Amino acid sequence: MELKGKRIVLGVTGGIAAYKAAELLRLLVKAGAEVRVAMTEGATHFVTATTFQALSGQPVFSDQWDARMANAMAHIDLSREADLLIVAPASADFLARVANGLADSLLTTMTLARACPLLVAPAMNRQMWENPATRRNVARLQADGIGLIGPACGEQACGELGVGRMAEPAEILDAVAAFFTPKRLAGKKVLLTAGPTFEAIDAVRGITNLSSGRMGYALARAARHAGAEVTLVSGPVALPTPAGVERIDARSALEMQAAVMPRAAASDIFIAVAAVAEYRVAQVAGHKLKKDAGGIPALELVENPDILAAVAGLENGPFCVGFAAESHDLEKHAQAKRQKKKVPLLVGNLIADGLGGETNRLVLFDDRGIHHLPPASKTALARQLIEHIADLTGADDAPD
């Protein structure tokens, strides 16, 4: 519910991508937003107002002379009550009209009379997007402070391939969530590790763990939303890279160390979320070990590098955050790990509460004491943790 309490007007213009607006509306409502929909006449040729009314639970507006508003001024009242106006899809025609201050429909009039920020998600044929007139209009919109989401590159309804597709609804939702997030880490460089590591035994087998990477990826997303420049060093996981985050893949602990250490000194904050295997096999077999080879193979294990301790030991290094997943005695083991690693913040959780799942229960250990975060989704916990890190590092809210 990261958009709980936010009042959003979703504008929909004519174009085949209008069907995606229905999914975007569903996601916005699911995230807790109160959404009203304003459509152009062209949009009604692709998706009916009934669809949007059913998904939003609110009346849909398309006529600037709509008498349902007591004062017959929907173009003013809708935007004045909103925290954000987002138009998706935004056609080439709509962008041109807004760029030139035209007010010949409910939606264009609303953009001119609005008292809230405006985001647009363009959608059009690739040649329309590349046309110099469109480029001029987009440049003017951006100069006027209007935010742009996309467009994306890919296959288009006309069968052509190129830039002009509307960004996917999940990407637009992410951009809206980022828009509302205070930029408390603006100007900061955040380096994170996430996921498990895989320590090879032979050509197919290895030592790993049940870490899904969800907590680390949620933290990378939350840090990016808070304005940070984020680099994510990831173990092998099946998760999409958060928008705006640089991702570096690392399979083993040694690969993760090789990716982290050259970047650590230039970072302001290092968050070690990855579940790094403590041991690796001394001699990796170059072929698959066979059961019929006789006997059970003896595996000699050697200790992996302690990446968090190494970064924490850097002179003038970043603010370090460690994670401890324990099966029991969480406070005892977490406090001991924090002292041993010499980190200012240690985040602990019981394995039964969150390893591999979508929710968790976190306990934060720092110089100020012990802070219990109630059970929640990893997305929600990531936002709370980034706020806590911002508090500890003295980061201030950036201007909206």
Q: Which two tokens stand for residue 237?
A: 């996981």
Residue 399 β-bridge partners: none
Residue 118 β-bridge partners: 85
Decide: 147 and 178 in contact? Cβ < 8 Å: no
Phi-psi region of 163 (alpha: psi -120 to 50; beta: other; left: phi over 0): beta
Of 116, 153, 158, 320, the catalytic one is: 158
Spatial distance between the Cα atoms of 257 and 284, rounded to a whole number of angstroms: 19
- Indicate the DSSP class of residue 196: B
Burial class (CB in 10 A: 0-12, 13-18, 19+), 30: exposed
Q: Between the CA of residue 380 and those of 24, 125, 219, 345, 391, what are the distances in Å?
A: 20, 37, 10, 19, 17
- How would DSSP label each residue in 304-328? PP-HHHHHHTSTT--EEEEEEEESS
Which helix (H) or strand (E) covers residue 219, if one does? helix 214-225
Spatial distance between the Cα atoms of 360 and 356, rounded to a whole number of angstroms: 10
Spatial distance between the Cα atoms of 91 and 89, rounded to a whole number of angstroms: 6
Catalytic-residue membership of 158 = yes
C-alpha 192: how far from chain center: 14
Q: What is the largest CA-CA distance in the chain?
A: 88
| Cβ-proximal residues to 77 (8 Å cutoff; 6+ apart), any chain | 69, 71
Q: Which amino acid is at 49?
A: A
**Enzyme catalytic residues:** 158
